[in-house]
Chains A and B, each alone.
Chain A
């Protein structure tokens, strides 16, 4: 992985696309999380903190596709697109055959509603897409596939991630100054 990663990082500014197809079972998700972490660490300029954040984003997108989008025995597709020095994108596709399958507009409306009206703190569900994925991405888009199912696309720009880190550091430094004073 490291050799491949180094060659991807050194070679060009062209986008690098990696596609993984998985059966609809959560048993493979720890491997996908490990892959996401390695990919971000070794082939992008995102920080360690963002590598862990994207691990959660990808996990939540896949869990949603497995739980709602595709029935057992079918597949989901995960696409990683690394735009070097610019951004990272994740796309997760389901087949639309799951029992609780929804159209793109329905799921987008639910996410929008949940993120605008904060999920009650003691509520059991509803934090995956509306909090973790939405908070840690710049673009979150749901699209219906012509043959059934949806594609969820998430994009995060490197510039914005770095700006947020700087803001966080300044805020922490500000707190320390306040304590010292």
Chain B
């Protein structure tokens, strides 16, 4: 059986109808057994919102991520960024932040301690 992991998506009220803001909550462990399948949800979301998609990745319940899931994160970032959107990360556990830092991802995607700070950053 694949390792349990969930991704849920919430809409956030936006100041402009052209700007889409979503909170994407990750829980469980993203590893080799499930990440390809779970990544499809985010690719679908990007496809449904081709322009100005802004996503806050809530990592509060994310317990583990492997190098392949970090690869997906950078790919999503590239696709969103080139179409006028943003991705930021919020509420990361220390072990996840440590992994993001060692691969240099925190140079590319900003991390915030709270959802409110992430919302402020993404909408301003």
Contact = CB atoms under 8 A, between A and B. Distances in A.
Interface in B78-110: 78, 94-95, 98-99, 102-105, 107-108
Contact of B67 (A29, A52, A53, A132): A132
Nearest to B95: A52
B74 A123 contact: yes
A122 B29 contact: no
Interface of B: 1-3, 29, 31-33, 64, 66-68, 70-72, 74-75, 77-78, 94-95, 98-99, 102-105, 107-108
A79 to B, nearest CB: 20
Interface residues on A, range: 20 to 34
B108 A121 contact: yes
A30 interface: yes
Interface string A49-79: 1001101100110010011000000000000
Nearest to B64: A33
Given A121-B105, A123-B74, A131 B67 contact: yes
Q: A-side binding surface: helix, strand, loop or mixed?
A: helix
Q: Which 8 A-B pairs have the closest CB atoms?
A: A26-B32, A52-B95, A128-B67, A26-B33, A124-B71, A127-B67, A30-B3, A122-B78
Q: State the main secondary structure of chain B at its contact with A.
A: helix
A125 interface: yes
Contacts of B29: 30, 33
Given A63-B32, A122-B108, A132-B102, A127 B1 contact: no
Contacts of A118: 104
B3 A123 contact: no
23 contacts: A26-B31, A26-B32, A27-B1, A29-B32, A49-B95, A52-B94, A53-B95, A53-B98, A56-B64, A60-B66, A63-B32, A122-B74, A122-B77, A122-B78, A123-B71, A124-B72, A125-B67, A125-B71, A127-B103, A131-B102, A131-B104, A132-B103, A135-B102
Interface centre among B2, B32, B71, B94 (most CB of A within 10 A): B32
Contacts of B32: 26, 29, 59, 63, 66-67
A121 B67 contact: no
